């Protein structure tokens, strides 16, 4: 089974039973966080951009676990600067595919600021356990999401719906169409008042895909 665990805000874990892939590990200071950065496990850490609510505790978790960090070079440089111990880092950039023991990771564009000079925000297409998962990271709606859906058959799209910093429910529902995703998991909402959104409103706007609302601390099988 492929397990998806939501740790709150935009932090989640994919676990295929052998490898744990932790994404955007913002736990310290995350009002929704359901695990401590001292307790969370990971073999790989994927980071979409350097805003605190995404890069989060990645440097400390990576050095504690010797987990490999995947990110844009500028984001990796920032991670490295925050800890004494060396980080196992794999730099990628947009359009690149990385083969890893559990499958594949492709770095794809996102329309958002990066939080670090010279950087760029990204999303990921992750192939693991026979499933294709697209995590948009923080982004506005953009029409090239159609290309992501054309290239791969998206089993699960993980999309921000909180509005203000990212697309809101209407644009996220349109993203589901662009991606031709079979299932969609909303996140990046409700953490603070400024991104309060009702996932049931989002569900009502989505057609042609199943909306899976996963609460912080909850795990589901994908």
Contact pattern for Mn ion over residues 40 through 79, marking x by CB under 5 A? -------------x--------------------------
Give the Cα separation of 118 and 52 in Å (integer): 17
Q: Which one among 30, 32, 45, 51 touches Ni ion, defined by CB under 5 A?
A: 51
Considering only the stretches 26-34, 91-99, 132-140, 199-207, report the one whose residues sit in contact with Ni ion under the rule CB under 5 A.
132-140
Considering only the stretches 11-19, 80-88, 137-145, 191-199, report the one whose residues sit in contact with Ni ion under the rule CB under 5 A.
137-145
For Mn ion, which is the closer residue by CB, 53 or 60? 53
Q: How far is the CB of 138 from Ni ion (least distance, A)?
A: 4
For Mn ion, which is the closer residue by CB, 121 or 125? 121
Q: Which one among 15, 57, 74, 138 touches Ni ion, defined by CB under 5 A?
A: 138
Burial class (CB in 10 A: 0-12, 13-18, 19+), 106: buried
The reply to whether 138 sits near Mn ion by the rule CB under 5 A is yes
List of residues contacting Ni ion (CB under 5 A): 51, 138
List of residues contacting Mn ion (CB under 5 A): 53, 138
């Amino acid at each position: 089974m492929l397990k998806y665990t939501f740790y709150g805000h935009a932090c989640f874990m994919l676990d295929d039973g052998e490898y744990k892939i932790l994404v955007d590990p913002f736990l310290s200071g995350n009002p929704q966080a359901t695990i401590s950065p001292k307790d969370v496990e990971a073999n790989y850490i994927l980071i979409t951009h350097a805003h605190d609510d995404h890069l989060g505790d990645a440097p400390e978790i990576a050095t504690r676990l010797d987990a490999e960090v995947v990110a844009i070079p500028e984001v990796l440089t920032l991670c490295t600067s925050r800890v004494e111990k060396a980080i196992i880092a794999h730099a990628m950039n947009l359009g690149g595919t990385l083969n890893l023991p559990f499958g594949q990771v492709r770095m794809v564009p996102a329309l958002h600021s990066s939080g670090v000079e010279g950087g760029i925000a990204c999303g990921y297409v992750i192939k693991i356990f026979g499933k294709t998962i697209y995590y948009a990271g923080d982004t506005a709606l953009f029409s090239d999401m159609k290309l992501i859906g054309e290239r791969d058959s998206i089993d699960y799209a993980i999309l921000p719906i909180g509005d203000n910093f990212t697309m809101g429910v209407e644009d996220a529902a349109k993203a589901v169409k662009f991606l031709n995703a079979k299932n969609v998991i909303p996140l990046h909402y409700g953490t603070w008042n400024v991104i309060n959104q009702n996932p049931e409103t989002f569900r009502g706007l989505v057609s042609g895909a199943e909306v899976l609302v996963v609460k912080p601390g909850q795990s589901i099988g994908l």
